[in-house]
Amino acid sequence: MRKLSLALLLAFICPASAMAEIGKPSSISVGGSYCYVTNTENLRDGFLARNGHPSYTVQFGYNTFPGCRSSAYAERYNFPVIGFGLTFDNCSRMQFKNNSSIGDFVNVYAFMNGAFYKERRFSLGYLMNMGMGITGVLYDPIDNPYQFHIGSPLSIYLSFGPQIKLRPSDNIEIDLNAYWYHHSNGNMWMSNVGLNGLSAGAALRYNFEEPYTRQVRRLEEKADFPKGFFYEIYGSYGLHACKTEFLAFNKMVEDPALKQRSFTSRPRIGLGFDAMYRYSLLCATGIVLDCNYNWDGGMLKRSDTVIYGEDAVRNGPGYSPLNIALGFLHEFYYGNLSGFMGCSAYLYRKVGINEDFSRFYQRIGFRFHFPSWCNSFAGWCIRSSLFKDADFFEFQVGIRI
């Protein structure tokens, strides 16, 4: 757990440190918001009164400007503010029956505040946060049965939404924010229903250095970038835990003393190949072929037998630890950092009955590229199905050919 915690922390801190300029932060902000949990259908019988909670934030930002280390990319994004943030979600304000609690979250993340329109006293744009949520209140089927949305000490934290900036002076900014947020453990631990919500709030920002506030005309200058086709090959390591398998295992065990309160994650190893075409400084598009191998695939058969019976398993789709998929991938760049998203379809997949609910899956993740190290890269990725249900979280290491 300690090694995985450190790996997650490094995975989320590296993107911001890669983008940030060398030196001291050029701005600091404090703010608050009110969050409203939206996916309460699984908690309808658990809530006493309200599903809203306050949230408090502090951020240390780096103001990008002409002449900065990544000015070609910053210019295309209209000179955004990038940096680190810490948010405290007071989810304990949401009351549950049976003395259960969903717990509070401390979110540590990298952020990017970009602008579609910018002038000296006003900006209209977006905020984007990606990081890690930490909570000390865990799922327990007996003592805390309603904390099944996250069920682990660490979770993936994402938020995105519109932002208005008002600047009464060059040093003072008032940020008005509205955003969607998501917590998920990437199905690395049981349980994982996920926690989604909407939030609105404001923040007060102080700029130690005058921010760049001019609206930029994009693509007037041709920036240097490797245009054309390129290919990537990578290996991956991920974890997967299934609540249904956990419940089926406990159903098979008659002795209460032997029933498990937690479920060990199954590791997955994978191999992938990307064929991409980079047509602009910011974007590349292509196809991806990947396969992965699941350890302890026999658990799928055992849990299906408990749930559906031996006849259904015998006449079902079968089981195999190997999966092969082909899909589409789109990548966005900021210097040596890239964010990617895509959708793939399984060409070969035999996972029995319970987990065979979709032939398609989606991916979103980040990579940090090392051009001086043989064009290698390292990153992480979240795989999900139906655009909402996490499948597993994986780390990637690869090389560009």
Same domain assignment for residues 343 and 379: yes
Mean pLDDT of 215-231: 79
For residue 290, being part of any structural domain is answered with yes
For residue 16, being part of any structural domain is answered with no
pLDDT for residue 125 is more than 80: yes
Last residue of a domain, one of 177, 207, 237: 207
Residues 6 or more apart whose Cβ sits within 8 Å of residue 322: 291, 292, 293, 348
**pTM summary value:** 0.83
Same domain assignment for residues 244 and 135: no
Least confident of 100-109, 147-156, 170-179, 244-253: 244-253
Q: Which of 239-243, 264-268, 325-329 has the highest mean pLDDT?
A: 325-329
Same domain assignment for residues 186 and 296: no
Same domain assignment for residues 71 and 199: yes
Same domain assignment for residues 192 and 257: no
CATH number for position 368: 2.40.160
Last residue of a domain, one of 173, 207, 241: 207
For residue 56, being part of any structural domain is answered with yes
Same domain assignment for residues 189 and 235: no
Same domain assignment for residues 375 and 247: yes
> What's the token pair of residue 175?
């940020």
Same domain assignment for residues 156 and 101: yes
For residue 223, being part of any structural domain is answered with no
Same domain assignment for residues 77 and 199: yes
Range of the domain at 301: 228-400
CATH number for position 169: 2.40.160.20
| 137 neighbors 93 (Cβ within 8 angstroms) | no
Average pLDDT over the chain reads 83
Same domain assignment for residues 239 and 360: yes
| 329 neighbors 342 (Cβ within 8 angstroms) | yes
For residue 376, being part of any structural domain is answered with yes
For residue 323, being part of any structural domain is answered with yes
For residue 105, being part of any structural domain is answered with yes
Same domain assignment for residues 170 and 37: yes
pLDDT for residue 222 is more than 60: yes
- Count of domains for the chain: 2
Last residue of a domain, one of 207, 239, 254: 207
pLDDT confidence bin for 228, thresholds 50/70/90:
very high
Q: Between residues 89 and 15, which one has the greater pLDDT?
A: 89
Same domain assignment for residues 122 and 194: yes
Question: Residue 145's pLDDT is what?
Answer: 64
For residue 332, being part of any structural domain is answered with yes
